[in-house]
Structure 1
Amino acid sequence: MLWAQPKQISQDFNLDANSADVSLIEFAKQADLTIIFPYEKVQSRQANALKGSFTIEQGMSKLLENTGLAASFERDGVVTIKRISIHDTLLEDKSLMQEIVDLLIGNGDNIVTFPEEPSYVELIEVLGIRGSMDWALDIKQESIGVSESIQSEEIGKFPDLNLAESLQRITGVSIDRSEGEGQFVTVRGLGPQFNTVLSNGRRLATDNQGREFSFDTIASELVTSVTVDKTFSASQPSGGIGSVINIKTARPMASKDFKVAGSVKATFDNNSQKITPQGTVFFSHSNDKLGWLVSLSHQTRKARINEVQTDGWLLNTDIPTEQLTSTADTIFVPRNYDQRVRFDQRTRTGGTLVLQYKATPNLDISLDYLQSDFNVKTDSTSLGHWFTSSNLEDVVTDENGTAIAFSQNVGHATDFHARTFDRPSSINALGVNSRWQASPKVLLEFDVSSSKASTKDRIGAGNALTLIGYLNRSSFSISEGNVLPRIAGFESSDPSIVDALGDVTGVSDYLDPINGRAHVMMRRGWNIEDKFDQLKTDITFFDGLDSNIDIKFGFMYSKQSKRNERWDNEKNAVHCSFCGYFPEPDLPDGFQTIFDAGSDFLSGVSGSENLPTRWLRHDGETLFNFLESASDINFDAVIRNNSFTVTENVTSAYLQGQQRSQWRDIELSSLYGVRYENTDIVVTGFESDLLALTILDQTELGQLNSPGRAISKSASYDNWLPSVSIKADWQDNIIARLGVSRSLTRPTMGQLSPSLVLTTTRQGGDLRASSGNPDLKPFESTNFDVTLEWYYQSLSYLSASYFKKKVSNFIVSTVMQTTINDVTDPSTGADSRAPDSEDTLAEFDLTTPTNGQTATVSGFEFAIQHDFNSGWGVVANMTLVDSNAKLDPTDISQKFALTGLSDSQNLIVYYEKGPGQIRLAWNHRDGFLQSLVQIQGPEPTYVRSYQQFDLSASYAVNDNVSVFIEGVNITEENVLKHGRYPNQLLLAQQPGARYSLGLRGIF
């Protein structure tokens, strides 16, 4: 970025002919200016000698003459460098071909923009809100396909505190949040698994069980830009029928000499009332040959999150007919109803290392390393109510069959939970790249990379659960107009309620620790290891067929190995060793203390006045240790048979052409090609046979299994992926684009596991099992895109887009009832507490994924960006998405529907003038189908519409230091989820607001 002094004043220059990057730096020094630019985008262009007295404008023009670059002075102090249009001139110096390949093949992201900044400001990346927007606008405008990007406002200053939160500002992009932070990205109605995520052009491994990437694992301060490609080209890696998202980190040769930049801030969480520190620092140095950059970031956040949760709504359970008042054909009852407070400590530590070496004028070598550790430790306390359908009384339903009132006087459990939701994740990525301009018409690029991600939980601490409780009674009701149901009747004791031994339970008020007895004691979690290795080479021949056509081809080999290990203590029902609320061992009263969630617990959600806000709290690890010492039981988690490893080898080759031509006043650019891919998959795991079901307590059934045996399955498939993109540019400000392509997304890893897993074994016929399918084929999509854009003034544009995707091989879950090895259900006979001769065969709902469905996704995107030239500006966009594969809530037989489909809207208002800036951002996402399953049960999960307001402001104290404030979710919006119908509450979450105050410096 170049900041010009008044361009009418002549100055003396003495520059020898040199590469453009060196010449621009020297030009800035002699003109007493500050300059920053992406080194790799201009390094191979040869600038001219400049000797004599010139104005800034004259000097820049002479310096860049016949380089293929031109400078335009768009506003006071703003110089924009762009390629010269083909109908203006032809490039004459073929030694510039390395940069031309960036321009022609790189989807236009080689545009060098010099945004506005006062001349006294020192060296920074992109200066301010308007500079960031100007940069992103040039990338969008110059791309042949449909591409959008977000650029950091300066080094270490991304527009939002979270990468996903920033991405949602792009048209067509919406996000899923986790505990108040953006985590997953949906693009054009296609969810996280359908988007390929890269770092500096290389695939990133993920810490999840599937292919979806968690954007909260990487600190936004380490990132300089994120680009979302919505159309596809043959040279791009496959895997995302939604988009290809490329995260770019800072480069040392974007500036010269030694630089230090960083920020420190304190963040206040409104729910927890805690203040935590965060800090980021960059060190970089470069000269004409060598550059290095090191960055470090450390963030902590202590959050409190209030929740009410139902794990699922059970369909057509065995409610006694005489207790049911309903005319509906289908009955839904809640599995449970919990009130919970989570205490999160989120620690994110990461950094980057970049080395760039210009070995010769024609050979560049670079090394990139990214490391990020994201450790979430969550301790929660909750009051839980567990319902057993066969014991429900006075059940009343609405017209949809949803139970809106019932009571339970037998077998109801009142439990106090201590639970963890830990997420010890890590990701790293290493890549080495070399670019060699072998001749004026040949460019070779070689890249090798490796990425690893993990969530380490071999002891089952990630989702540990301990229960102290007793048998009780309760009544449940849903009032019209309230989101939160009412739970009552459990507060006082009832001497008529006895346990399995005939002893009276609940002898006093529910807050009296004397009632408490040990119950479920679970250690469980996933140990995930993902590794992605990639080797690729690209060769470009300029003027391959004639003067306006370039040919590019390449090869890539990748190997992904994902190991998903399930660790728990449910084998042989160890977790239920104390199920039944037996009096021994007697728990010391001091194990439990009264917890008060506060009068404002979920106060922003209707019906919160009906919730209990006090319950008993205990420490889970203390209870584990006490029970282990009082018995011979070891509660340690062990690896289970539903662990598996997927190894995926992909070999690909592509051929691509790029052509530029002129038709009257319209400049045409086209990008066309085909990609071939061969995929080989090997899935290995363990499986054991079910031998018997046993009664554990009044609700649970245990499993007896044979020893595990190894199993292995393999599959292979081939795909051809053609693509064509055409861009028509009229007078450099009206652009039309057309794209047609074929793309694919491979099946979710978890759906490939060959093992049969018993997921639920409970009394009352709640028996469920699942199995994967290694023979699943990839999702295949035919994509059509058309856009029209009008760049009517600087920093301003209007755009409209239409897209349509026809996706085949959608995976659906087939559910069938089956018996397993003639095993019987011991709770169905004459004696419900023990097996007998009248027990019936256990019938499981077996869920298996299969290919078969085809769906169409289509929609419109509209955007406007306007700068008022007074410091004020506005950005607004909206996305409208539709599909022929929506879920009909009245059809319980429907097993397939697209998840993630929703309309979304964004509005950003900003002011930037002089040393001050302020930015208010609003995002709204309509309600959407998040999943076809719930935590417990095969019913759908919906997320209600959600909006969020974020605010940021900064003030430059001097040339080097600025002070800033940030606010996230400043109106304290809540997250709400429900089942098939809106009154089937699944989650009400109150993440609260958070605010930051900090300093940022560049030296």
Structure 2
Amino acid sequence: MTGSMVRTRLGRDKGFHATVSLLAIALAGSAAQAQTAPPQDGPAPVAAAEAQQNSGTAAPSGDQGQAVDPSPTTPSAGDDIVVTGVRASLQSAQNIKRNAAQIVDSIVAEDIGKLPDRNIAEALQRISGVQIQRAFGEGSSVAIRGLTQVRTELNGRDIFTASGSSNSLSLEDVPSELLAGIDVYKNPSADLIEDQLSGTINFRTRKPFDFDGAKASASVTNTYYDLARRSKPAASLLLSDRWSTGIGEIGILASASYQKTAFRQDTISTEPFYTLDPTNAGDAATLATLGRTGQTTTLPHGTGIGEVPGDRRRFGVDVSLQWRPSDTLEFTGEYFRNDYKLRSYGYSYFAYTSGVAITPQAGAPFTYAPNGDFQSGTFVNVPIGNNTSIGARHSVTTDYSLNAKWRPTPNLTITADGQYVDSKTNNLNSIVGLSGTATTLTQDIRGDIPSFQITSAAGLASPATYSNGFYLDNLNNSKGTDKVGRLDGEYRFDGGILSSIKAGVRYADRRNRTNDTGYRYTGLTGPAGNLRYVDLGDFFRGDANLFGDIQAFSLPTVLNYDATRATLGITSTPTFQPSGTNTQAQKTYTGYLAAFFKADALPVPIDGNVGVRVVRTKVAVTGFYQQIDLITAPDGTQQTAAPTFTANDQSNDYTSVLPSLNLRAHLTERLQLRFAASKNISRPNFNQLNPTLTITEPGTAQIDQQHTTSTGNPFLKPMRSSNLDASLEWYFARTGSVSVAGFYKNISNYIQTVIVPRSVTFTDGVTALYDVTTYDNASKAKVKGAEIAYQQFFDFLPGALSGLGMQANFTYVDSEAPSPASQGPVTQLPLEGLSKYNYNLVGIYEHGLISARVAYNWRNKFLVTTSANGTGNLPIFQKSSGQLDASITANVTPHLSLTLNGTNLTNTVRSTYYGVTTRPRDAIMSDRQIAGVARITF
């Protein structure tokens, strides 16, 4: 049971509200109590370092050879004014945006290890045009200008999480404390790496030459998660120094971050929906029972809940060494390692018939929406399921890189870059299921929170209710590697319109290998032992009208995979078969040429760049069609048989020519207009290309459930996009700006998710219908929209009020693509993950010892997936939602600060629905969080 959708409401936890009230009082009182900071003799080392790295002159150390114009046009008035803290970070981010060669937005850490949000995705949502999705209460993925095909980079180089499901980095994996800033490139230039439709996110780490000398910083954090009712710690440390030696200048920086987090996610689901067919005898009888003969009627075939607590652990290390043997030569070596663990576990309880007809209770009251969709009523003799499960992921990504920059003449710069990435992921899924039959199921889906009641003869808390059981376990692992080499040259001209020419070549060899056992099914005879009473009284904070408590297989046992198998008498683990292996290999050969020009003598000075990037891509994938039958013993127990399989190998190669043009007109010293035109591509990710399809025969205890599986499509083409962008930017103060941007993308071969039904008859004669999730290239898709962004500190206000500031942005994105359904209530769709409207409001206060933020993010409904199981090819949408976060910091001394953070303060509930709002799917509640942070910097 998945999905999300949102409404905002306050919970009933009085202790939590007390904390929120303290936050509000502190924020309100800070304006009145803060004192003016004493004058500074010069910039703090961190601010100076940020100015050096982020003023618009610094470029990523890796593949992105240039990012910005080295000649910023910041007004000269008051150049001796020094800013620190939040003001410094906003000024640095504004300078990057103002002086970049492309349309760029940035987030800069205001201090070492201090991005505005703890989670990278949560920080990115503050940028105009960026929308995020959440998993287990944290931001997990992003879309830029409505498209999820985003490229992620670390210091301008490839970075990814091995999984096959994405060609990029899982944003929830990396501790934000390791980063100095994040740049979001919204349109390409020829020297930026391809493979994105929406934009490139570049994560920047710090280097020892960023600082004038020795630097040290450390932080400790403790966070309370109110739904999980647990607290978890975090800590970070950075040490850096540089020395002048007989062989030149040398610098070393080492940083580490360790985080533990907890979560709990409560979900109420309604699924699936089927419209009764009057030409079918069974459906005709049901219509007669309901008194609906001759009327369109749609009934849900099930409902359920999931209570899923869990925990995350992040451990990241970054070590960099820089050596400058002369003024014309510099080497940078970096080791970056990220180690991430996720564990989710808990209970799910459901009553549903899947595709089998559901029986209404004769004479029971039923209500319907005007379109004939069920709203409330009672059904009889409904199968019930009761699962205790755990899912675990462990991902480790290690990045080794070496960069050399040489200036043999004042006009010529040559950069060589090499990189090796090694990423590994291991997954475990273990599920103990019980089954029985409910006497009645009463549902009411008319409210914001669906309610339902289940009754059985013995009661849901009695083991006698559960007559059958089964066990499912699955192991899989992925390993990805990337070998990259790049050589770039730039020649700068001393005069004339042509300011520089850049050219370069790049080679990348990316490989991924995934091994999967498939789900192993083990039937359990009679009721399972080792059951435990489960109190669901606090489910959904007690706000849900549900069926009461249950018996379920022991969760403490399920948390230990070996103990679970031992309890069930299973001595082995699932076997990795050759047919469970799939591989993907992708090689790219790239060359580019770009010319940078500047026409200052024109009435309106113009600068920009024009270029072309040519990429040859070669892709090869291997996989299997695998069928796993069951063997039924004389006593009725069932075990999986050895699989039968057939190999499926495919290869493809193509060449892409990607021109780009970026223009900037300096209308005044503070007002500039940008225009960009480009073409780019986004390749299918490895999971979308994977040809492996596994069909496992359902056991007796599963036969009435819905059967799903998934596969890729090795014949997918890369998505191609033609783009137009324009941006008008007014920089009226050091930390004050207003920008308006418009964009248009015309996409061909857009990749959609589709559901294909497949009937399979197994060796023992059992036939089952499977909904196979796969992918297809839609013919066309279009995206257009506009962004407005504003930020300012109100320095003109008197006294302490001058510390007030504000950030605000609004994004409008309109898109359209064909639905997989050719008929029905929904045939045209926006793109997946895209909200038409999105805005951020951030109130800032920084004066004296106090720094505070209150941030509200809102997005309207968006498409989760174009087609989902049990929907009759209907899409799933998430409803509009908003979330409020806040923080307040006391800078106790120049070296010590104390921070209180609050996340999800309004207890946002996210909800989804099947195509039309009268068919709800999920309502999801996650934790509110309160964190205390102590940070020291020297």
**Given the alignment of the two structures, is residue 662 of structure 1 paired with residue 600 of structure 2, yes or no?**
yes
User: Which of 887, 891, 906 does residue 824 from structure 2 map onto?
Assistant: 891
**Retained in 2: the 8 A contact 1:82–1:113?**
no
In structure 2, stretches of 5+ residues that fail to align are: 1-36, 796-801
- Offset of residue 312 of structure 1: 4.6
**Given the alignment of the two structures, is residue 981 of structure 1 paired with residue 916 of structure 2, yes or no?**
yes
- Offset of residue 236 of structure 1: 0.5
**Retained in 2: the 8 A contact 1:128–1:153?**
yes
- Offset of residue 676 of structure 1: 0.3
Aligned counterpart, 1:356? 322
Q: Which amino acid aligns with 2:109?
A: S
Aligned counterpart, 2:657? 720
**Given the alignment of the two structures, is residue 678 of structure 1 paired with residue 612 of structure 2, yes or no?**
no
Change in Cα spacing, 1:328 to 1:782, as seen in structure 2 (3 Å) is farther
Aligned counterpart, 1:46? none
User: Which of 463, 483, 490 does residue 533 from structure 1 map onto?
Assistant: 483
- Offset of residue 816 of structure 1: 6.0
- Offset of residue 105 of structure 1: 3.8
In structure 1, stretches of 5+ residues that fail to align are: 8-30, 44-79, 84-96, 494-507, 828-840
Residues 702-741 of structure 1: CA deviation (Å, up to 9, x unaligned) = 9877533443211111100000000011332001000000
Bigger-Rg structure (1/2): 1
Aligned counterpart, 1:965? 900
* Higher alpha-carbon deviation: 385-394 or 548-557: 385-394
User: Which of 523, 530, 554 does residue 618 from structure 1 map onto?
Assistant: 554
Aligned pairs for 1:868-879 within 5 A: 868-869=794-795, 870-879=802-811
Over the matched positions of the two proteins, sequence identity in percent amounts to: 24
Q: Which amino acid aligns with 1:239?
A: D
- Offset of residue 901 of structure 1: 1.7
Aligned pairs for 1:504-903 within 5 A: 508-543=458-493, 546=496, 548-570=498-520, 575-578=521-524, 582-583=525-526, 587-588=528-529, 591-599=530-538, 601-603=540-542, 608-612=544-548, 615-616=551-552, 618-619=554-555, 620-621=557-558, 634=572, 636=574, 638-639=576-577, 641=579, 643-688=581-626, 707-758=644-695, 771-812=711-752, 826=765, 849-869=775-795, 870-885=802-817, 891=824, 894=827, 898-902=831-835, 903=837
- Offset of residue 205 of structure 1: 1.6
User: Which of 203, 206, 209 does residue 250 from structure 1 map onto?
Assistant: 206
- Offset of residue 667 of structure 1: 2.2
- Offset of residue 880 of structure 1: 0.4
**Given the alignment of the two structures, is residue 107 of structure 1 paired with residue 75 of structure 2, yes or no?**
no
**Retained in 1: the 8 A contact 2:862–2:877?**
yes
* Higher alpha-carbon deviation: 513-522 or 292-301: 513-522
Change in Cα spacing, 1:541 to 1:431, as seen in structure 2 (3 Å) is same
Change in Cα spacing, 1:184 to 1:102, as seen in structure 2 (3 Å) is closer
Aligned counterpart, 1:429? 399
**Given the alignment of the two structures, is residue 139 of structure 1 paired with residue 96 of structure 2, yes or no?**
yes
SS in 1 for 2:540: coil
Aligned counterpart, 1:195? 150
Q: Distance in 1 between matches of 2:96 and 2:782?
A: 29
- Offset of residue 154 of structure 1: 0.5
**Retained in 2: the 8 A contact 1:654–1:675?**
yes
Aligned counterpart, 1:28? none
SS in 2 for 1:577: strand
Aligned counterpart, 1:930? 864
- Offset of residue 805 of structure 1: 0.2
**Retained in 2: the 8 A contact 1:927–1:942?**
yes
SS in 2 for 1:308: strand
Aligned counterpart, 2:875? 940
Q: Which amino acid aligns with 1:998?
A: V
Q: Distance in 1 between matches of 2:120 and 2:373?
A: 39
Q: Which amino acid aligns with 2:593?
A: L
* Higher alpha-carbon deviation: 397-406 or 969-978: 397-406
**Retained in 2: the 8 A contact 1:219–1:350?**
yes
- Offset of residue 149 of structure 1: 0.2
Q: Distance in 1 between matches of 2:769 and 2:61?
A: 65
Aligned counterpart, 1:372? 338
Q: Which amino acid aligns with 1:301?
A: T
- Offset of residue 940 of structure 1: 2.1
* Higher alpha-carbon deviation: 204-213 or 293-302: 204-213
User: Which of 390, 397, 416 does residue 386 from structure 2 map onto?
Assistant: 416
Aligned counterpart, 1:300? 260
**Retained in 2: the 8 A contact 1:110–1:139?**
no
Residues 323-365 of structure 1: CA deviation (Å, up to 9, x unaligned) = 1345799875545422222221211111110111102110010
Aligned counterpart, 2:114? 157
Q: Distance in 2 between matches of 1:390 and 1:888?
A: 24
Residues 891-949 of structure 1: CA deviation (Å, up to 9, x unaligned) = 36849752122121000110101121111111001110011233666542211112111
**Retained in 1: the 8 A contact 2:318–2:335?**
yes
Q: Distance in 2 between matches of 1:852 and 1:345?
A: 38
Q: Which amino acid aligns with 1:650?
A: T
What TM-score comes out, normalization by structure 1 length? Answer: 0.79
Query: How many positions carry a matched residue from both structures?
Result: 871
Q: Distance in 2 between matches of 1:159 and 1:465?
A: 39
- Offset of residue 114 of structure 1: 13
Change in Cα spacing, 1:896 to 1:646, as seen in structure 2 (3 Å) is farther
Residues 796-855 of structure 1: CA deviation (Å, up to 9, x unaligned) = 1111111000000113456666666x769956xxxxxxxxxxxxx877666654435111
* Higher alpha-carbon deviation: 97-106 or 545-554: 97-106
**Retained in 1: the 8 A contact 2:480–2:513?**
yes
What TM-score comes out, normalization by structure 2 length? Answer: 0.85
SS in 1 for 2:209: helix
Aligned counterpart, 1:53? none
Residues 644-692 of structure 1: CA deviation (Å, up to 9, x unaligned) = 11111011100000001124453211111000000001101223467x7
Q: Distance in 2 between matches of 1:423 and 1:848?
A: 23
Q: Which amino acid aligns with 1:802?
A: G
Q: Which amino acid aligns with 1:974?
A: V
**Retained in 2: the 8 A contact 1:144–1:737?**
no
SS in 1 for 2:420: strand
Aligned counterpart, 1:454? 424
SS in 2 for 1:563: strand
Q: Which amino acid aligns with 2:129?
A: G
**Retained in 2: the 8 A contact 1:642–1:756?**
no
Change in Cα spacing, 1:813 to 1:865, as seen in structure 2 (3 Å) is closer
**Given the alignment of the two structures, is residue 914 of structure 1 paired with residue 870 of structure 2, yes or no?**
no
Q: Which amino acid aligns with 2:652?
A: A
Residues 286-342 of structure 1: CA deviation (Å, up to 9, x unaligned) = 134011111111111232322223565467798643113457998755454222222
Q: Distance in 2 between matches of 1:102 and 1:404?
A: 56
